[in-house]
Amino acid sequence: MQKPIIAIDGPAASGKSTTARLLAARLGLVYLDTGAMYRACALQAERLAVPLNDSSAIEAMMDEMPLRVELSGGVNRIYLGDEDVSQQIRSEHISKQASAISALPSVRLKMVELQRKIASNGGFILDGRDIGSYVFPDADFKFFLVADPEVRAQRRVEELKSRGSEVDFQEVLADILQRDKNDAGRELAPLKKMPDAIEVDTSNLTIEEQVNVLQDIIMQKQDATKIYLAEHSGFCFGVRRAIQMATEAKDLGRKVCTLGELIHNPVVVNQLAAQGITVCDDPSHLENHTVIIRSHGAPREVYEALEASGNTVVDATCPYVKRAQQLVQEMSAKDYQVIIMGDEHHPEVIGMRSWGNGSTLVLAPGSTPELVLHSKVCIVCQTTKKPEDLAAMSAWFSTRVQELRIFNTICLATQQRQKATADLAQNADLMIVIGGQNSSNTTQLFQLCQRYCHCQKIETDEEIQPQWLEGKQVIGLAAGASTPSQTILSVFNRIKEIIGEPERVTTIGEIPLYKEESC
């Protein structure tokens, strides 16, 4: 959602630097000459008489390296301290030294750190040997320029002659071949073409033609519809845990069932049924079963009834929900009126309320009681609710009771998911929210997206209507906590199919923006 990072890699004299500079000017981006940075390191080593085979001396030099890069009008000025060395680093001798010094880990790590710092916010074109493979492996565009060694040698000869240097073609060719070998064989970040890099053979192209080729590719991709997946979408920790516990329960040697749907997603429920894990909605009919309490939890009396009938109970209640239940029980015992902010008929809230007492009250977000019964009030909330709703309810009670205790029982994954979804929705033309129709957290995401853009809510890719996508440049995807990765993949690939793009993904991590929850 920011200006792109464009990586141009390739062997020496393949046209990377000139192409990168001209392309940056055309696209209004900044060119960062990474090669010049290594040349400056080589110049510093020569001035200080530091041998390139003395790793400790090189490391000490890098710790004190006064390198500075100034960017102005598309021009890179390289400084060592206060001295502008932009011209001194361009000699053929320093070029050879730069190739050698760039292979040293202490040098490379320092320069890569600096390059990432400079270009991290996007809007840069960088060229080198390992930009797309090591420095910026997630670059928006990756190119790998190649050319015949003889062509590259002739280019280097003409470049050096233009600077007044007389050189021998065969010597330059030998140097080119040796540098190729050194760059490809170095241990840290060797020269290599990444699978997602676009190779361009520049042997028979002028510089203008090279720039045109890269620009055409970039413009075509930028004009294409972009599809992003909000961070933290899909299965949360509690859901993964519940499914694993259900699968492991099959080995206990009894009939296995879940008390209600394990999670609010029909795809997962059907997959479990195929494994022999059925759904039972009435616990009074169960005897001598292995009964899995779903991630939403269950009322206290259900646990007691199941155990009295000889059932083995596997409690897959989400730890966040379990904590909320315990708080309701503890605060009720301490004579607080417990207010549960949530949906009165949601199974999670029904279970939470059972751990309280006769004064425990459920309030929907945005609502208030007709009167406050107690001077001491404790607020907990359904784990999938929004923090701002909890804050509003807490503020209302704060002026009406003598003592107020508030527990934020909204799970971290829910908060991460909602923030990431809102951030994406504000930059999208269309949001598609994926999840079970009965899923509370999916509904929350859908309602959140409606504040910012047009959105649709679906369970599977089969529900996508092609007309939804017409004229949409940025399509955002978000998925509830009970949505399997495979469903998200199917939706992404179906959108790609509808808009006529051939690329497909096989793992959720390949979809732009996505990253797994941190809890």
pLDDT digits (tens, 9 = 90+) for 310-360: 999 999 998 999 999 999 999 999 999 999 999 999 989 999 999 999 999
pLDDT value at 515 more than 60: no
Q: Give the CA dihedral 197, 201, 207, 210, nearest 10 degrees.
A: -50
Question: Hey, what domains does the chain have and what are their CATH numbers?
Answer: 5-223 (3.40.50.300), 229-233+413-510 (3.40.1010.20), 237-319 (3.40.50.11270), 321-410 (3.40.1010.20)
How long, in residues, is the chain?
519
> CA 113, CA 50: separation in Å to the nearest integer?
22
Tens digit of each residue's pLDDT (9 = 90 or more) over 55-97: 999 999 999 999 999 987 778 899 999 999 999 998 878 988 8
User: Can you give the pLDDT at residue 384?
Assistant: 85
In 3D space, the residue among 393, 250, 238, 241 whose CA is nearest the CA of residue 324 turns out to be 238
Whether pLDDT at 402 is above 50: yes
Q: CA 152, CA 146: separation in Å to the nearest integer? A: 9
The per-residue pLDDT for 372 is: 74
Task: State the pLDDT at residue 21.
Answer: 92
Q: What is the mean pLDDT of residues 262-271?
A: 85
* Cβ 211 vs Cβ 44: under 8 Å: no
pLDDT the model gives residue 2: 60
Catalytic residue among 231, 261, 348, 459: 348
Specify whether 348 is catalytic: yes
Angle of CA points 158, 160, 165, to nearest 5°: 120
Give the model's pLDDT for residue 466.
Answer: 94
Q: CA 34 to CA 21: how far, in whole Å?
A: 12
Cα-Cα-Cα-Cα torsion 488, 492, 493, 499, nearest 10 degrees, comes to 160
Kindly report the average pLDDT of the chain as a whole number. Answer: 90
Over residues 225-231, the mean pLDDT reads 88
- Judge if pTM exceeds 0.85: no
Phi, psi (rounded to 5 degrees) for 337: -80, 120
Q: Model confidence at 220, in pLDDT bands (50, 70, 90)?
A: confident
Check residue 266 and give its pLDDT. 84
Q: Are 380 and 338 in contact (CB under 8 A)?
A: yes
Q: What pLDDT sits at residue 224?
A: 74
Other Cβ atoms within 10 Å of 301 Cβ, number: 10
Read off the pLDDT of residues 26-64 as tens digits, 9 standing for 90 and up: 888 999 999 899 999 999 999 999 999 999 999 999 999
Query: Above pLDDT 90, what percent of the chain?
Result: 59
pLDDT tens for residues 86-134? 999 988 789 888 888 988 999 999 999 999 999 988 899 999 989 999 9
Residue 251 has pLDDT above 80, yes or no: no
Q: What is the pLDDT, as a whole number, of residue 518?
A: 43
pLDDT at 514: 63
What pLDDT is attached to residue 463? Answer: 96
Note the pLDDT of residue 516.
53
pLDDT of residue 91: 85
Smallest Cα–Cα separation from 43: which of 97, 108, 83, 81? Answer: 97
pLDDT tops 80 at residue 233: yes
Instruction: At 348, list the tokens.
Output: 């999670």
Tokens read off for 45: 């080593």
Tell me if 474 sits within 8 A of 228, measured CB to CB: yes
The whole-angstrom separation of Cα 126 and Cα 30 is 9
Res. 222: pLDDT tops 80: no
Question: What pLDDT band is residue 1 in, cutting at 50, 70 and 90?
Answer: very low
Beta strand 75-80 with 67-72 is antiparallel
| Average of per-residue pLDDT across 385-398 | 93
Residue 515 near residue 229 (C-beta atoms within 8 A) = no
* Range among 230-234, 296-300, 383-387, 460-464 rated most confident: 460-464
Mean pLDDT for the stretch of residues 298-309 = 91
